[in-house]
Structure 1
């Protein structure tokens, strides 16, 4: 519910968790434990549900009060999800109250792991399940959560209908053997799957009479001009031509894509590859080393966090950086509106090596990225929980959780749900996401996201143009969401924890000049000795299973 941008490949998300191999063991050990007592309501039988629960005459899910426990990240700007109008309305509609368990901000992964190790699971857990070793399938195998296929078939008509009408979504939501384990967060429209890219100071380009850079060579020309020609006009050589946060692997994809590879696993003609062992990666590192040596890259990039980056951008220092359409372009344009009236941003094309070539890979989420709400094995009210979760996938629930309450957070204008000024121009100065969170949660939650939300979240001309630019790559090399077996998950964790640490360390050394580029072959040899090719084989096997779903 708090907006979390989740990576499209499970290997990147695993990095969010502490000791993934340990988590497998903890979850397996906890699978036989239950700290819950039944408190009434319809209890799910083992195996397939026997029949529909009796529905109250008033249309609610339950005839007597029922409370469910629910683990989920804290909504932006709220202290508890029960403050949200959508959840207040859902309780009225269903008769079900929810006790939300919100982990401390910044401690989500640690508290998730502790919860798993305790065996005292809440009724529902909302999480990015690609982060769980082996994904949702392994959580099923470990007995942490339950299989939902039969429950969806009998008690979730809204989700059942959506999956039947959208076979590609069903393919991604299902595991390799056809199991469905979650009520998913779905981005079913291509316009919702891209929201991130390179941003550049358009006003600086105009001041220096420079065209929008498209190739790596053109980027070099622009960044050199940003450094040398004082585009912020303060008479000081304080400009930072380019700042990309290493923590988001922005270096590894926003520019590396020009060489046709990625910083992690990717597809090349149906074969899984690992970018950092490729010769193209050496060429990329050589370019980044030269740029760093020339002062075109922020020398403090490796230690810069989001807050420091915001200060540099709003301090009129940064020429180009990675940014999201809402939390980047929208945030910075709003922050600088009164402070710097000529401040302007544009979404820059993903660069290529040759002029006129189509960018190969950019940022694109899958339809389902692994994020969703699961029902744990401790839940004593499975049928009621399924019906409660399914409400979000029906017409009423879709509008409620994408747009909120009619007359308060949106009004219908010619069939279009237009957010009110309380959301778009909040009098208390709340951001769009924080203002909307008082009413609804159309981002990172179990529902089908509505593109009309994004059309208003990205309503500035700079945002709409950026999205048009960022969707240009063909993205054929991006891996779909994959499932790993328990054994594969353990192997990947053991290999990639060390590989990622070493690759990240050597990236800095190569770029900063602490390690000569001439030692690249030794770097590749070390990765091969760390069994990176075995990891590639595991990914390939998982990809081939995905194709057969």
Structure 2
């Protein structure tokens, strides 16, 4: 790898003294929650930092002229040497970079990779470096949930991750105009949902005169599993291990899973579910939605909420999908979902063991977590890509919102929302939403606090990780197959106990022991 290094002409001690004098002369210091390094006005040669990073815009790679990175360069007197490409290219390059034994100063990738190679010396532990960085300390260490999701099994933090701003991810949504047409309330309990879907099927809910063309419930993927929220369990493959009563349990073999599957089988057999739900692709799903056939769904909330503003529905009078609370079993139960964005987004940046400018790099990492840095990485530059209203509301300029290729592409091209460690801003989600209604729906679960406590982020020894992955892959393959068969009736629910015994015969006890060992280790790390 071609790495160019340039020595600074002034010693680090002199730089520190000059910066201290400048700060003193200005009579200022960092306000709480801010990072305020001195801007580059001295004319010194910029520090060169090489950075391995995927560019979010596939048609415009990051350079030192990319708006956001240009601002970082000016603020910290840094010139970046970008080693970049699209996401797939950089995923392919990562193992080659690791095997080369020549590492860029900064690497942006998945936290799991930093935790894997950090103990080998490829990336340096940041624990001690974070202690005098108030923003990193506050948001990454003092926040115990965030810390649990990023810390390695050896107790070290090797990467600074992106932090999410909105916990909302998946949930049920329903055609409010269909409810209004049939004079039905928003369903709350599972019995409510059954009665509502049955009415959608039988009573011409779309009002076109044909009472047999409605599909009461449809989705793409396995979002239908989210009805298990009513039983307090998560049956999605990425959430099947849950904490309960001080230990980890595997939900598919829990008695509540049988109750859930019995209900789903009933709904499917009575035609309340899309009969192609197990294989329905998004293209066909959205086609049905935009042809006024689907009454309810479970999906990414922000995605479906945006349908109300799509041109495909302009000719469907009153078309109105609205998010509903997670389903419950009994009236008065608190609606809660296990499906949520983790605080730590699985992208981060780290410092390689060959970085000769660790202090400068940590200044940048700290700045990215500050309020000022949060604005830059979420919105860009004030007056250019966003404006601030008198009431403090932030709005993207026409440069972003009226870009012919869309706002998301425009933001990627200026370097906003990069795959690095920074704090996402809830105002970004609101400003980027296609409508006020979509933004309101996205934040509904947040405002109502409909989220269960997140499952502990378990960390494993290398041997335990390999063993658990091997066992889990085999079990999940079988469980996925059987869940589908139970729902559509290819396998009778009378065979559920046999299904449980089969799972237990697949080295389950060994996997369970590894999960609980990691759970206990996690509790120790969090002390």
TM over 0.5: yes
SS in 1 for 2:204: coil
Counterparts of 1:89 and 1:226, CA distance in 2: 54
1:456 maps onto 2:431 in alignment: yes
**CA distance in structure 2 between the aligned counterparts of 1:241 and 1:443, rounded to whole angstroms:** 39
Q: Please report how far the alpha carbon of residue 142 of structure 1 lies from its aligned counterpart in structure 2 after TM superposition.
A: 4.1
Q: 1:415 to 1:85 in 2, by over 3 A?
A: farther
Secondary structure of the 1:238 match is coil
CA shift digits 1:76-99 (9 cap, x unpaired): 675324485222322333322242
Q: In the alignment, is residue 86 of structure 1 matched against residue 63 of structure 2?
A: no
Q: Give the match for residue 206 of structure 1.
A: 180
Larger RCO: 1 or 2 (CA < 8 Å, sep 6+): 1
- 1:139 match: secondary structure: helix
Q: CA deviation at 1:198?
A: 1.3
136, 146, 164: which is aligned to 2:124?
A: 146
Q: Structure 1 residue 180: deviation in Å?
A: 1.2
Counterpart mapping for 1:226-375 below 5 A: 226-236=200-210, 237-246=212-221, 249-252=222-225, 254-263=226-235, 264-336=240-312, 338-375=314-351
The structural deviation recorded for 1:527 is 1.0
Q: Deviations over 1:127-150 (max 9, x none)?
A: 3435x5xxx533323444321223
Please give the alpha-carbon distance, in whole angstroms, between the structure 1 residues aligned to 2:141 and 2:493.
52
**Match of residue 4 from structure 1:** none
* Corresponding residue SS for 1:66: strand
The 3-state SS of whatever aligns with 2:322 is: strand
For this pair of structures, how many residues does the alignment match?
A: 494
Q: In the alignment, is the contact (CA less than 8 A) between 1:350 and 1:362 conserved in 2? A: no
Alignment match, 2:502 = 526
Change (3 A) 1:113 1:90: same
Deviates more, 1:337-346 or 1:479-488: 337-346
Structure 2 counterparts to residues 363-402 of structure 1, below 5 A: 363-377=339-353, 379=355, 381-402=357-378
Deviation at 1:390, TM superposition (A): 3.2
> Does the CA-based 8 Å contact 1:362-1:470 persist in structure 2?
no
TM-score (norm 2): 0.82
Describe the superposition over 1:265-302 as per-residue Cα deviations: whole angstroms up to 9, x where unpaired: 11222221111001111111111112122222222223
Report deviation, 1:401.
0.8
Q: After superposition, what is the alpha-carbon deviation per residue over 1:408-431, rounded to whole angstroms, capped at 9, x for unaligned?
A: 22212235242135277425262x
Alignment-derived partner of residue 40 in structure 1: 5
Q: Separation in 2 of the partners of 1:125 and 1:509?
A: 44
Q: What is the alpha-carbon distance in structure 1 between the residues aligned to residue 147 and residue 509 of structure 2?
A: 31
Q: Is the 8 A contact 2:170 2:339 kept in 1?
A: yes
CA shift for structure 1 position 348: 1.2
Max radius of gyration: which structure?
A: 2
Question: Would you say the 8 A contact 1:174–1:180 is kept in 2?
Answer: yes
Asked if the contact 1:361–1:477 (Cα under 8 Å) also holds between the matched residues in 2, the reply is: no
- SS of 1:291's partner is helix
Q: Which moved more, 1:342-351 or 1:286-295?
A: 286-295
Judged with a 3 Å threshold, the aligned counterparts in structure 2 of structure 1 residues 150 and 142 are, in CA distance, closer, same or farther, namely same
> Residues 10-36 of structure 1: CA distance to partner in whole angstroms, max 9, x if unpaired?
xxxxxxxxxxxxxxxxxxxxxxxxxx4
Alpha-carbon distance change, 127 to 201 in structure 1, aligned in 2, over 3 angstroms: farther
Report what 1:7 is aligned to: none
